[in-house]
Amino acid sequence: MSASDDASLFTPARRREAARIVIVGVIMFIMGALASAVVSAHGVSQKDALFLSSIDGAAIGPLMYLGAKHMVTGYDHLLFLVGVIFFLYRLKDIFLYVSLFTAGHSLTLLGGALGGLRADPYIVDAIIGLSIVYKGFENLGGFKRVLGFQPNTRAAVLIFGLFHGFGLATKLQDFALSPNGLAVNIVSFNVGVEIGQVLALTYVLLVLSYWRTRPSYLRYAYLTNAALMSAGFIFTGYQLTGFFLAG
């Protein structure tokens, strides 16, 4: 992206437009919080829950399928990854950042599900929501423009990957999984997550690659990342209210 293209993202009109989006995001933060009072925060279908509770022994194929399904339908993970790759144009950069995210979430998924590491699922998911806010804010140049510094993006992606993996682990910890074949099943679930991530990212990259050839890409890049922040606010509010109600 050229300097002139980058500057075009931050015109006063677009900043005002993004500010309106963020204000709406804060309002929806509250709405999401209220919605969580009546909606479960953990989106595991009853059918999948019954299956997980009934497993006794290795079930490699089904667990790989569930892992892939969780990633493909996990909008929190997908939104963060969209933010991560939104302004990445070279495949080696995409591979680097996705690998950092993968290393992080694989470590805590396995550590949480097999090693007994535990944390409150609502707090973990609230941090995942903030990871989406962070990436949208960074893409908007918010750290440099508002706070006067730029965090280490690689370190941030790795650290947030740890929380995303912990979020996956807390979903599995909700069930009384049989110790018979547990290690094989958790590793299979993690492999499925990676397969789902590859499938989802392939689709996202195809869409982004096409969109980048259109004038609307730069025109709406600012608004898109402001919308990412709003989605993160909603998810965070949803989870924090679940935390306070559960207490």
Please give the pLDDT value at position 136.
94
- Tell me the average pLDDT of the chain: 83
| Burial state string for 163-201 with b = 16 or more CB within 10 A and e = fewer than 16 | bbbbbbbbbbbebebeeebbeebbbbbbbbbbbbbeebb
What share of the chain in percent tops pLDDT 90?
A: 47
Please give the pLDDT value at position 216.
86
Please give the pLDDT value at position 158.
97
Distance (Å, whole) CA 238 – CA 236: 5
Distance (Å, whole) CA 180 – CA 242: 32
Bigger pLDDT: 235 or 41? 235
Bigger pLDDT: 75 or 92? 92
pTM listed for this prediction: 0.81
Please give the pLDDT value at position 99.
95
What share of the chain in percent tops pLDDT 70?
A: 81
Distances (CA, A) of 190 to 66, 113, 158: 9, 10, 17
- Side chain identity at 146, as an amino acid letter? V
Indicate the SS3 state at residue 120.
Answer: coil
Please write the tens of the pLDDT for every residue from 28-58: 554 554 444 334 434 566 777 778 878 888 8
Task: Give the count of beta carbons closer than 10 Å to the beta carbon of residue 106.
Answer: 19
